[in-house]
Amino acid sequence: MFTKLTSQSELPATNEAKEFPCGDKMICVANVNGEINAMDNVCLHRGGPLGAGVIEGGKVICPWHGWAWDPKTGEAQAPGAKVAVYPVKVEGEGVLIEL
């Protein structure tokens, strides 16, 4: 079931990431070259806020220690490290997420 996360006007700019609350979770929304992806906001390394990071080479870079995460797959450069990714869809002005 899809839930409203935010509005299109609140989405991060191209090649930026942003944090959004959704229920009891924080979600990292990444805009990579105009493609919107959503994943868990917590870096598995030390719990850094991924949505406060930057995007380099199509990856979200954790602001605390520089781990790079693929917002499409949730995978990091560290073997076996992976966060959950969530389907996102835009309906009208609303941005919906399926947790």
Model pLDDT, residue 77: 87
| pTM, rounded to two decimals | 0.96
Tell me, what's the pLDDT at 28?
98
CATH of domain 2-80: 2.102.10.10
Show me where the domains of the chain are located. Answer: 2-80
Written as tens digits, the pLDDT of the chain (99 aa) is 999 999 999 999 999 999 999 999 999 999 999 999 999 999 999 999 999 999 999 999 999 999 999 999 999 988 899 999 999 999 999 999 999
- Smallest CA-to-CA distance from 62 within 83, 36, 80 is with 83
Residue 36, helix vs strand vs coil: strand
Distance CA 22, CA 35 (A): 20
d(CA 30, CA 19): 9
